[in-house]
Chain A
Amino acid sequence: MTGPLTDVRWDAIGAIVHREWSVFRRVWAAPMFGSVVEPIVYLVAFGFGFGALVSTVAGLPYLDFMATGSAAISVLFTGMFPGLINGYFRRKENHLYDGLIAAPITVAEIVTGEAAWTGVRTTIVSVITLVVAGVLGVGLAPTVVFVPVIGYVGGFAFHCLGAAFAARLRSTHQFDFVIAGTLVPMFVVAGTFFPLDDAPVWLRYPALVNPLSHVTTLFRAAAFGIGTPLGLVVNVAVVLGFAAVTWVLAARWLRAALID
Chain B
Amino acid sequence: MLVAVEDDTASCALRLSGVVKTFGPVLAIDGLDLEIPRGITFGLLGPNGAGKSTVMRLLVGTATATQGSIEALGMPLPASSRAVRARTGLVPQLDNLDEELTCTENLEVYARLYGVPRRQRREAVAWGLELAQLTERADAFTAQLSGGMRRRLLIARGLLHRPELVLLDEPTVGLDPQVRQSLWTQIEQIRSSGATVVLTTHYIEEAERLCDRVAILDHGRLIALDSPRGLRSSYVRSEIVVEVPGDPDRQRRVAAAAEAAGLAHRPAGTAIAVFTDDVSSLVGIDGLREEDLDHRLRRPANLEDVFVALTGATL
The residue that A14 contacts in the complex, of B90, B112, B158, with Cβ under 8 A, is B112
> A258 and B101 in contact (CB under 8 A), knowing A96-B96, A99-B92, A102-B85?
no
Question: Within the assembled complex, what's the spacing in Å between the Cα atoms of A258 and B57?
Answer: 11
Most-contacted residue by chain B among A23, A95, A104 (CB, 10 A): A104
For the complex, is B300 an interface residue (Cβ under 8 Å from A)? no
In the assembled complex, which residues on chain B have CB atoms less than 8 Å from the CB atom of A100?
Answer: 113
Question: Within the assembled complex, what's the spacing in Å between the Cα atoms of A258 and B60?
Answer: 12
Instruction: Give the size category of B's interface with A.
Output: 20 to 34
Contact with B along A4-23 (1 / 0, CB 8 A): 00000101101100110011
Q: In A55-92, which residues have CB < 8 Å from any B CB?
A: none
Question: Within the assembled complex, what's the spacing in Å between the Cα atoms of A96 and B94?
Answer: 11
B120 CB to nearest A CB, Å = 14
Question: Within the assembled complex, what's the spacing in Å between the Cα atoms of A94 and B98?
Answer: 8
The residue that A23 contacts in the complex, of B62, B96, B100, with Cβ under 8 A, is B100
> A103 and B96 in contact (CB under 8 A), knowing A22-B105, A260-B23?
no
In the assembled complex, which residues on chain A have CB atoms less than 8 Å from the CB atom of B127?
Answer: none
Question: Within the assembled complex, what's the spacing in Å between the Cα atoms of A260 and B105?
Answer: 29
For the complex, is A105 an interface residue (Cβ under 8 Å from B)? yes
Number of interface residues of A (CB under 8 A): 24
| B96 and A104 form a contact (CB under 8 A) | no
| B101 and A22 form a contact (CB under 8 A) | yes
| B96 and A99 form a contact (CB under 8 A) | yes
In the assembled complex, which residues on chain A have CB atoms less than 8 Å from the CB atom of B92?
Answer: 98-99, 102
For the complex, is B138 an interface residue (Cβ under 8 Å from A)? no
For the complex, is A259 an interface residue (Cβ under 8 Å from B)? yes
Question: Within the assembled complex, what's the spacing in Å between the Cα atoms of A260 and B61?
Answer: 9
The residue that B109 contacts in the complex, of A15, A101, A102, A258, with Cβ under 8 A, is A15
Question: Within the assembled complex, what's the spacing in Å between the Cα atoms of A94 and B101?
Answer: 13
Question: Within the assembled complex, what's the spacing in Å between the Cα atoms of A12 and B115?
Answer: 8
| B94 and A95 form a contact (CB under 8 A) | yes
Most-contacted residue by chain A among B57, B63, B112 (CB, 10 A): B112
| A102 and B105 form a contact (CB under 8 A) | no
For the complex, is A246 an interface residue (Cβ under 8 Å from B)? no
| B96 and A260 form a contact (CB under 8 A) | no
> A98 and B82 in contact (CB under 8 A), knowing A19-B109, A22-B109, A260-B64?
no
For the complex, is A129 an interface residue (Cβ under 8 Å from B)? no
For the complex, is A118 an interface residue (Cβ under 8 Å from B)? no
> A104 and B99 in contact (CB under 8 A), knowing A260-B23, A260-B62?
no
In the assembled complex, which residues on chain A have CB atoms less than 8 Å from the CB atom of B57?
Answer: 260
Contact with A along B49-71 (1 / 0, CB 8 A): 00000000100111110000000
| B112 and A12 form a contact (CB under 8 A) | yes
Residue in A closest to B57 when the chains form the complex, CB atoms: A260
For the complex, is B12 an interface residue (Cβ under 8 Å from A)? no
B67 CB to nearest A CB, Å = 14
Residue positions of B touching A, CB distance < 8 A: 23, 57, 60-64, 82-83, 85-86, 90, 92, 94, 96-101, 105, 108-110, 112-115, 158
| Contact sample, A vs B, 14 pairs, CB 8 Å cutoff | A11-B112, A18-B108, A18-B112, A19-B98, A22-B101, A95-B94, A96-B98, A101-B61, A102-B62, A102-B90, A103-B85, A259-B61, A259-B62, A259-B64
